[in-house]
């Protein structure tokens, strides 16, 4: 897949099925051995599509959802962001809530482009800093560290009946993140 053909844009209600498909595929690929197997097996694209249709049909004005859309494959990634929901040891204004790329589309810098879109949107909302919460055993956590996210908190959360170790990465200044999609940007 050529990332030049794939566009990153705000999500629309019509993207609900594609987002749901990516969500289920990414969770099943990322979380075996992390989340309980019955939870992963029970994931349903149909149920998630209904949830996403509702969510996109009544968007919260302080949040944004973006999709990476390939002209042939449709939605191949999505990301959501908004105001920080957590009390952290430093003042952080924004938060990257979700970022998932279809396993078949990974390795094409779509994650970077989705982060850039979220950072640009947060900056437009006058939020100059951001954080992300990620499960410690999520292999994709290194992505955030690679983008210069600073580990600011280690904790735990309960999800699907399991107690899971959780990490929080933060960027006190996200201006450099909104340039990640720039092909002239020499960072990884």
Tens digits of residue pLDDT in 30-53 = 999 999 999 999 999 999 999 999
Nearest to 115 by CA among 4, 8, 7, 2: 8
Task: Tell me how far apart the alpha carbons of residues 62 and 67 are, in angstroms, rounded to a whole number.
Answer: 17
Query: What average pLDDT is seen over the chain?
Result: 91
Give the pLDDT confidence score for residue 180 in this predicted structure. 74
Would you say residue 99 has pLDDT above 70?
A: yes
Across 11-40, average pLDDT: 96
Dihedral sign of CA atoms 177, 181, 186, 188 in order: positive
Across 66-85, average pLDDT: 96
Give the pLDDT confidence score for residue 1 in this predicted structure. 37
Across 42-65, average pLDDT: 96
Q: List the domains of the chain with CATH numbers.
A: 7-179 (3.40.630.30)
Across 98-112, average pLDDT: 94
Across 78-86, average pLDDT: 94
The DSSP element (H or E) to which 150 belongs, if any, is strand 150-159
Would you say residue 181 has pLDDT above 80?
A: no
pTM confidence score: 0.91
What's the Cα-to-Cα distance from 187 to each of 26, 95, 115, 139, 180, rounded to whole Å? 25, 22, 14, 20, 8
Would you say residue 183 has pLDDT above 70?
A: no
**Partners of 8 in the beta sheet?**
68
Neighbours of 132 (CB within 10 A): 23
């Amino acid at each position: 897949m050529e990332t030049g053909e794939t566009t990153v844009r705000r999500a629309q209600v019509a993207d609900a099925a594609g987002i749901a498909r990516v969500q289920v595929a990414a969770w099943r690929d990322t979380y075996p051995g992390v989340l309980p197997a019955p939870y992963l097996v029970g994931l349903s694209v149909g149920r998630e599509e209904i949830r996403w249709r509702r969510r996109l049909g009544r968007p919260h004005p302080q949040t944004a959802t973006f999709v990476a859309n390939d002209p042939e494959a449709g939605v191949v990634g999505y990301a959501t962001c908004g105001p920080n929901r957590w009390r952290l040891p430093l003042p952080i204004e924004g938060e990257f809530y979700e970022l998932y790329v279809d396993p078949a589309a990974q390795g094409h810098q779509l994650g970077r482009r989705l982060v850039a879109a979220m950072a640009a949107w947060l900056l437009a909302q006058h939020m100059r800093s951001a954080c992300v919460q990620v499960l410690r055993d999520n292999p994709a956590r290194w992505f955030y560290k690679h983008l210069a996210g600073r580990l600011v908190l280690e904790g735990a959360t309960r999800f699907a009946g399991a107690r899971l170790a959780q990490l929080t990465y933060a960027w006190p200044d996200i201006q450099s993140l909104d340039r990640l999609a720039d092909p002239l940007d020499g960072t990884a």
